[in-house]
Amino acid sequence: MKTIKKILCAVDFSEATAPVSSYAVLFANALGASIEVLYVAPDLQRYNLFEVPSRDIDSFVDNIIGGAEKNMRKCLDTEFANTKAHGVVRTGYAPQKILEYAEETGAEAIIIGSHGRRGVDRIVFGSVAEKVVKQSRIPVVTVPVRHE
């Protein structure tokens, strides 16, 4: 059986972050693995089609990234306090960036939350977790997080 020494934990800083990170910590501690924590911010370049000046989009994305980096530091301090964890913020299409970062870092497993959206929400928002599961070459653990 293959060993797992590096786990990628994808977070979105929502209420899903705590349960997803707790599973990542549980697995990492049990396996003696380290954790790569990843947040993917949208790049918003598709809004250039709406005649929004690129500099406005870039400024907005820079603000998002700055806030995400602060959230990442807080997340590492609270959710991953006693674990060997490293956090990164990337921009782009979340499923693609998660898979790319897993390959880049040599992660042997991915842990991600599944929000359990149904109906119109699922059609509009899609499922990052589902896309990652379908395209991943490594095991993916999905943690169900229900909105009440």
Digit-coded pLDDT (tens) for 99-127: 999 999 999 999 999 875 555 444 444 58
The span from the CA of 17 to the CA of 113, in Å, is: 8
**Calpha distance 120→122 (Å, rounded):** 5
Model pLDDT, residue 113: 93
Q: What is the mean pLDDT of residues 76-103?
A: 96
- What is the arithmetic mean of pLDDT over 82-111? 96
1 pLDDT exceeds 70? no
> Residue 6 gets which letter from DSSP?
E
Confidence (pLDDT) at 118: 53
pLDDT of residue 52: 62
Q: Measured between alpha carbons, how far is residue 65 from residues 34, 47, 90 in Å?
A: 24, 17, 8
pLDDT of residue 59: 78
pLDDT value of position 117 = 55
Strand 6-10 and strand 109-114: pairing? parallel
For the chain, state the CA radius of gyration: 16
Give me the residue spans of the domains in the chain: 7-144
Contacts of 97 (CB under 8 A, 6+ apart): 38, 40, 90, 91
Q: Which fold has domain 7-144?
A: Rossmann fold (3.40.50)
3-state secondary structure of 142: strand
Name which of 83, 112, 84, 86 is nearest 97 in CA terms: 112
2-61 pLDDT, tens digit per residue, is: 889 999 999 999 888 999 999 999 999 999 999 999 999 887 666 556 666 677 767 777
pLDDT of residue 64: 85
- Alpha-carbon distance of 128 to 96, in angstroms, equals 9
At 24, the amino acid letter reads A
Residues in CB range of 69: below 8 A, 6 or more apart: 89
